[in-house]
Amino acid sequence: MKVIELKKVEKIYNDSEVKVHAVRGIDLEFEEGEFAAIVGPSGSGKTTLLNMLGGLDKPTVGDIYIGGTHINDLSGSKLIDFRLFNIGFVFQSYNLIPVLTAKENVEFIMQMQGISQEERYQRTKALLEEVGLGDRLDSRPKQLSGGQQQRVAVARALASKPKFVLADEPTANLDSKSTENLLEIMEKLNKEENITFIFSTHDQRVVKKARRVITVEDGKVLSDERK
């Protein structure tokens, strides 16, 4: 089943004096259950592409469909709600609400969705155990290592039962051991629970784990390979 569809998507930043053509005509589709990496050098347009996939930014030209919804048409609070119910996010760093504990960070997103307290509690516990943080439920973000914080972010992204999880360079600030650990968890979730992950990276060790590698350069897709 198709979860994402991009048609002739272009992005031109023209808020500064020089226009930046960050994405120059991309057609892409993502299926449910993919474990896809978007690879490319810095400045190649990975973040721009992921932001558009996540409904955080709008294409200048072209159409984006998520689960059949033409998200170009959504804006304001509708778009925010759409993200809440359909997309999981893991950012590069400082993902979590610093005043909330690991448990509360995960629970909070479900609370916004209106899920009952009982279910929230069960799911939070299960998810944090799954990412190996069953013993750190009550830790605040600053009491956790960078790798642990990213794992909480993954748990949070999954808590809302999204159609897919977007992760923009989730390992960029992690040491190699934490990187490996995070990827193992993501892989496991992908395999065992069929969670769709789309992440960007320029780390070759991360790329190796991906089952689909989309290489972008200068705002265009250079290659799109499935293993």
Partner 1 sequence: MKLYKIAWRNLWRNRKRTAITSASILFAVFFAVVMRSLELGFYDHMIKNAIESYSGFLQIQHVDYQTDPSLENTIELDEGFIAQLENAEGVKAVVPRVQTFALASSGEQTKGALIVGIDPVKEKKLSNPEIRLVRHQFTKENIERLNENSGIPESVKEKLNGLLYKSYTNTGTIAMDLDLDEEAESFLLSILGQETAFPGEYLQANDDGVLVSERLSKYLKLKVGDTLILYGQGYQGATAADLFPVRGIVSIPNPELDNKLVYASLEKAQYFSNLGNRISNLAINLDDNSDKNLKYMEKKLSDMLNSETVTVENWKVFNKVLWQQIESDNNSGIIFLGLLYFIIFFGIFGTVLMMIHERYREFGVMVSIGMQKTRLSVIMIYEMILMGILGVLSGIILSLPLILTMHYNPVHLTGDMAQMMEDMGFEAVMPLASPGMYMVWQAVIVAIMVALSSIYPIRKIFALKEIDALRA
What are the residues binding partner 1 (CB under 8 A)? Answer: 51, 54, 56-57, 77, 80-81, 83-85, 89, 91, 94-95, 97-100, 104, 107-109, 111-113, 156-157, 160
Tell me which stretch binds ligand ADP (CB under 6 A): 37-45, 61-69, 127-135, 205-213.
37-45
Q: State the binding string over 48-87 for ligand ADP (x if CB under 6 A, else -).
A: x---------------------------------------
Q: Can you tell me which of 17, 42, 77, 114 binds ligand ADP, judged by CB under 6 A? A: 42
What are the CB-based long-range contacts (under 8 Å, 24+) for 63-67? 63/5, 63/6, 63/7, 63/8, 63/9, 64/4, 64/5, 64/6, 64/7, 64/9, 65/2, 65/4, 65/5, 65/7, 66/3, 66/4, 66/163, 67/3, 67/163
Q: Which does 68 bind (CB under 5 to 8 A by kind): Mg ion, partner 1, ligand ADP, none?
A: none
How far apart are alpha carbons 113 and 107 in whole angstroms? 10
CA angle 60, 45, 94 (to 5 degrees): 105
- Minimum distance from CB of 47 to Mg ion (Å)? 3
In the bound state, the residue with its beta carbon closest to Mg ion is 47
- Minimum distance from CB of 156 to Mg ion (Å)? 21
- Nearest alpha-carbon partner for 65 in 13, 2, 11, 12: 2
Q: Which does 20 bind (CB under 5 to 8 A by kind): ligand ADP, partner 1, Mg ion, none?
A: ligand ADP
DSSP state of 61: E
Q: Can you tell me which of 47, 105, 181, 196 binds Mg ion, judged by CB under 5 A? A: 47
How far apart are alpha carbons 110 and 200 in whole angstroms? 26
CA angle 103, 176, 167 (to 5 degrees): 50
Using CB under 6 A, list all residues that contact ligand ADP.
13, 15-16, 20, 22, 40, 42-48
Using CB under 5 A, list all residues that contact Mg ion.
46-47
